[in-house]
Amino acid sequence: MDSQAPYPKIELHVHLEGTIRPECLLEIGRRNDYPLPADTVEGLGALYEFRDFDHFIEVWILVTNALRRADDFRQVVLDYAAEARGHGAVYLEGIFSPIERTWRGVDWDEIFGGYCDGAEEARELYGVEVRLTPDITRSAPIEDALKMVQYAVKYRDRGIVGVGLGGEEALFPPEPFEPAFREARDGGLGSVPHAGEVVGPESVWGALRALGPVRIRHGIRAVEDPALMRELRARGIVLDVCPISNLRTRAVLSPDRHPLPRLIENGIPCSISTDNPAMFDTDLTRDHELATSFGSSPRSLYESALAGVLCDAETKTRLEAIGDSYGWPGRS
Ligand SMILES: [Zn+2]
């Protein structure tokens, strides 16, 4: 076996809008006649350089407003599937935030149809299984959240497997979204909200009580509350941890303070993801390098992620077989 080949990875926390590299943005901008502040890959690359969270939000708005048509959403999935495959990805659950796009006049079916087309083609073209988990935007009214869930259920047989909650955690707690997550669960979708990234344990408790999650995106601040860690362990909830994102946003101030090792020591399964790789200057290999530098084995990270996937049983069995047959480095 080629020792340089990346080991297999499962990524469960990646915002597709945050994967758009400058080359892809230029192409979409030209196609849609959307004015960009630079017209070269180098120029856009400089703009992408991560400075602070406010600048990240500016870049996020600039990039996401370029997305207008089904073909744009489709391309975003395909480009990221190709990138992630280069880092060993065999399965991804991609997040997208449709509510903000509909506020800009883009049609729901254009968004869902485009992303689902991309997911199907990613399997055919690159052999990467892609499933989708649209995020409810926390600042949105409940009517928009319920509408999004309707579309998520409508597209369930085209690759939508869950519904998340994202955006400004400090300003918008999870509880008001309880009805939307109930609808999603009744419609056969998993609940995969963000919580415990910038807000402490109360945000994770709120998500546990109100949203019935099967996984939590981030969830790292659970480390501050032993009772919460016991609860997560008892429920078998997987945390989708993004170590480099946490450093970029300063949710964690330095690598040696990252809570990942303590969460794992406390028996909580943690998967590893990039969050917004293009905008946070990371990729799946670098996030795994940081995670394994804390002492986790690649195989244990794969198994933890596998415990949280929302795909059908047949696909999950195939992913298990990939993990079982791979010649993992080290003794695990
Ligand atoms: Zn996220």
Q: What is the pLDDT of residues 242-279, one digit of tens each?
A: 999 999 999 999 999 999 999 999 999 999 999 999 99
Under 8 Å between Cβ of 91 and 159: no
* pLDDT at residue 332 tops 70: no
CA of 332 to the centre of ligand 1 (A): 29
CA of 217 to the centre of ligand 1 (A): 6
Q: Which two tokens stand for residue 56?
A: 């990240």
CA of 18 to the centre of ligand 1 (A): 9
**Residue 130's pLDDT is what?**
98
CA of 267 to the centre of ligand 1 (A): 23
Neighbouring CB atoms inside 10 A of 109's CB total 13
Q: Which two tokens stand for residue 153?
A: 């259920």
CA of 318 to the centre of ligand 1 (A): 26
CA of 279 to the centre of ligand 1 (A): 12
**Residue 2's pLDDT is what?**
47
- Give 90-115 pLDDT, tens digit per residue: 999 999 999 999 999 999 999 999 99
CA of 273 to the centre of ligand 1 (A): 9
- Give 188-240 pLDDT, tens digit per residue: 999 999 999 999 999 999 999 999 999 999 999 999 999 999 999 999 999 99
CA of 164 to the centre of ligand 1 (A): 9
**Residue 215's pLDDT is what?**
98
- 67 alpha carbon, distance to own chain's centre: 18
Neighbours of ion ligand 1 (CB under 5 A): 275
Length of the chain (residues): 332
Residue (of 234, 252, 129) closest to 196 by Cα position: 252
Q: What is the pTM of this model?
A: 0.96
Under 8 Å between Cβ of 212 and 177: no
* pLDDT at residue 303 tops 50: yes
- Give 28-53 pLDDT, tens digit per residue: 999 999 999 999 999 999 988 888 88
Which residues are the active-site residues? 197
CA of 135 to the centre of ligand 1 (A): 9
CA of 29 to the centre of ligand 1 (A): 24
* pLDDT at residue 1 tops 50: no
**Residue 5's pLDDT is what?**
85
Fold of domain 9-16+72-325: TIM Barrel (3.20.20)
**Domain ranges across the chain:** 9-16+72-325
- Give 48-86 pLDDT, tens digit per residue: 888 888 898 899 999 999 999 999 999 999 999 999 999
CA of 169 to the centre of ligand 1 (A): 11
CA angle 107, 80, 63 (to 5 degrees): 50
Under 8 Å between Cβ of 261 and 241: no
Q: Order of strands, edge to edge, in the sheet holding 9-15?
A: 9-15, 89-95, 129-132
- Rounded CA-CA distance 35/198 in Å is 33
State the helix-helix crossing angle for 41-48 and 22-31, rounded to 10 degrees: 120
**Residue 121's pLDDT is what?**
98
- Give 139-189 pLDDT, tens digit per residue: 999 999 999 999 999 999 999 999 999 999 999 999 999 999 999 999 999
Decide which of 52 and 89 is more confident: 89
